[in-house]
Structure 1
Amino acid sequence: MFGKREGINLVGLRTGTTFKYNNTLWEIIEISDYDWGVDGKSIEYKIRSKNNIEAFLEVERHQGDYELYYSEGIHLSEEVVADGVSSKFIIHDGKEFELEEQYRGSCKNQTLGGSWEKTETYMFYAHDKTILTIEKINNTDLSAYYGSEVKEKALKNIKPN
């Protein structure tokens, strides 16, 4: 496995670290910790490409292996989000997504500081394994993300700053 072979701790990367994913060079610009209680912990890296595209890479250790998710922010209306959470289905970009996972916990942006904030996350999956994630922070701020699970070996040339 990539992380073990290279000896790189993917939940311990720092701002300024660069890596290649999908033939694009990315740099970690922010780091947030998530505590999901009994469901574990994860780290989310806000990343930026040299073309100023911003995205997210979430990393979680699960049974000794890494689970990685790449996503980009998208806009969904509050009505679509509310209807999707209650009906457990969302249609986006011509695909039907079904709610499969829901987590409650706390998050804290380690880069910007601040305090822990209550977080709810809803993960909707399509048949092609793409993921639409809805995140609600402090019961008010809604964000939506579109992405997919990533294999460790897809991250290349990881270099600390």
Structure 2
Amino acid sequence: MFGNKKQHPLNKLKVGFSFSLLKKEWTILELGEYSWDTGNMSVEYTIESGAEKAFLEVEFYRGEFEVIYSETLHLGTIDLDEIIDDGYFNFEGKDYKLEETYSGSYRNMTIFTSTETLTSYQFYYKDNCITIEKWSDGSIESFYGKEIKPKKITNINTL
């Protein structure tokens, strides 16, 4: 009755599961899987709370979960090559430093899309992260997020 309740592994959640994060109740709408050229894998959950839509990327690395909560960021037209050459990206007056670049593939595991390839550039300012993804078709997507501690995800409801 008073024992520790074991938390569901964050990289094994499913569509329809819900959880609490950032003082809101979120529901998982879609599940995507990244396979990185480094040999690592990560899971991306598309999540919803009311009218809000966001993303939760979870990677199990060296025995620990690394979690990034993010929302779509509309950057307009950018010169990605110049940003990469400079090694930083200025957003809202803060210089985000390019710290990680990964190439790999992505597949939506909810609707089973074909595998797409991409390169992901992660720029950091403290715990804040801007991710810019360049896809094989030349399209660019960007996200603004924050690294969060796994223990911030609570009350996981597994249906």
Q: TM-score, normalised by structure 2?
A: 0.92
Task: Give the superposition deviation at 1:34.
Answer: 0.3
Q: Would the aligned equivalents of 2:37 and 2:102 in 1 still touch at CA under 8 Å?
A: no
> How do 1:2-17 residues align onto structure 2 when only pairs under 5 Å count?
6-17=6-17
Counterpart amino acid of residue 150 in structure 2: E
Find the residue that maps to 1:6 and give its secondary structure: coil
- For residue 21 of structure 1, what is the aligned residue in structure 2? 21
The whole-number CA distance in structure 2 between the counterparts of 1:69 and 1:5 is 24
Structure 1 runs not aligned, ≥5 long = none
> How do 1:85-124 residues align onto structure 2 when only pairs under 5 Å count?
85-124=84-123
The whole-number CA distance in structure 2 between the counterparts of 1:129 and 1:9 is 23
Larger helix proportion, structure 1 or 2? 1
The whole-number CA distance in structure 1 between the counterparts of 2:105 and 2:19 is 27
In the TM superposition, structure 1's runs of 4+ consecutive aligned residues that sit over 2 Å from their partners are: 77-83
Structure 2 runs not aligned, ≥5 long = none
Aligned pair count reads 156
Residue 156 and residue 150 in structure 1: after superposition, are their counterparts in 2 closer, same or farther (change >3 A)? Answer: same
Q: Would the aligned equivalents of 1:80 and 1:90 in 2 still touch at CA under 8 Å?
A: no
1:55 is aligned to 2:88: no
The whole-number CA distance in structure 1 between the counterparts of 2:81 and 2:37 is 25
Superimposed CA distance per residue, residues 67-90 of structure 1 (whole angstroms, 9 cap, x where no aligned partner)? 000001111133243431221111
Find the residue that maps to 2:83 and give its secondary structure: helix
Q: TM-score, normalised by structure 1?
A: 0.91
1:155 is aligned to 2:153: yes
